[in-house]
Amino acid sequence: MMRWLFAVLVLVNLGFLMWASWFRDSPDEAVAARPLFHPELMVPLKTSPAALKARKTERNEAPLAAAKPRPRCVTFGPLADADAGKAAAWLNDEKIAGTRRSESRKVDSAFWVYLSPYATRKEAEARRRELERLGFREHLIMKDSEGRIAVSLGLYSSAENAEHRIQELAKKGISARREVRQKDESVNYFDLRLVEPADEAFARLRAQAWGSTAVEVRDASCVPESGG
């Protein structure tokens, strides 16, 4: 019995020795490189299609929004109320967008020619009689802008006519004065946003008759649109 057990142990040891010899790597045999391990690229087997789609979308950059074309901003004026109404209608027909704004300004309304000052009304009356002897008929006694007694020689709508009257008086040895009378006037301006290319529309604006030679059409700084 002991002999049989000894024989079995010998056979088992020989079997292990042969197995180790057969499966041992040869010293001259090249070992294949093992692939690199990237755990961040691994996807769980139970990942949902929605999650895979979201991960794919993250790799694609969002497309850039189309840049909004910059307008060319233009302003023109000043316009009287009647002319501003015609301008608004013209802009509407031309499909030109813009806003209308009003401003108040001082304008020359008349030019006063007068003689002043006089200490008393009696002195002013004496001056009037002298003017009549020299051939000047249109005159009256009134007060100037500072409340002093004066002899008025006429109120003229243009500076040229007032200057002509002063020259006539100077030829007779009379030194007259001129005072500019002003009044408040409401004028209108239009601020436009032209779509580029805007050269043609700008040229039409300048060629249009706006009712006054004082109207100016020029480029201006763009004001940010409200509500944007």
Q: Which domain holds residue 117?
A: 108-182
Same domain, 84 and 120: no
Work out the end-to-end distance of the chain between its first and last CA atoms, rounded to an integer number of angstroms.
Answer: 104
CATH number of domain containing 174: 3.30.70.1070
Q: How many domains does the chain have?
A: 2
Same domain, 174 and 123: yes
Query: Tokens representing 12?
Result: 């088992």
Nearest to 127 by CA among 96, 152, 146: 152
Q: Are 154 and 140 in contact (CB under 8 A)?
A: no
Q: Is residue 167 situated within a structural domain? A: yes
> 33 — alpha (psi -120 to 50), left (phi > 0) or beta?
beta
The pLDDT of residue 211 = 85
Which strands make up the sheet holding 98-118, listed edge to edge? Answer: 140-143, 149-156, 98-118, 177-194, 72-79, 216-219
pLDDT reading at 228 higher than 50:
no
> What pLDDT digit, counting tens, does each position of 112-165 carry?
999 989 999 999 999 999 999 998 988 999 998 889 999 999 999 999 999 999
Q: Is residue 41 situated within a structural domain? A: no
Residue bearing the bigger pLDDT, 213 or 110: 110
Same domain, 116 and 147: yes
The pLDDT of residue 223 = 77
**CA pair distance 70, 186, nearest whole angstrom:** 32
Q: Is residue 26 situated within a structural domain? A: no
Q: Is residue 10 situated within a structural domain? A: no
CATH number of domain containing 96: 3.30.70.120
**CA pair distance 211, 187, nearest whole angstrom:** 13
> What pLDDT digit, counting tens, does each position of 163-213 carry?
999 999 999 999 999 999 998 889 999 999 998 899 999 999 999 988 888
- Average pLDDT of the segment spanning 5-10: 65
Strands 98-118 and 149-156: antiparallel
Q: Is residue 207 situated within a structural domain? A: yes
> What pLDDT digit, counting tens, does each position of 48-99 carry?
555 555 555 555 555 555 566 788 999 999 999 889 999 999 999 988 888 9
Same domain, 192 and 160: no
The pLDDT of residue 124 = 94
The pLDDT of residue 98 = 87
CA 214 to chain centre: 23
Q: Is residue 196 situated within a structural domain? A: yes
Longest dimension (CA), the chain: 177
Same domain, 117 and 178: yes
Same domain, 96 and 121: no
Same domain, 213 and 198: yes
Same domain, 135 and 160: yes
Same domain, 190 and 101: yes
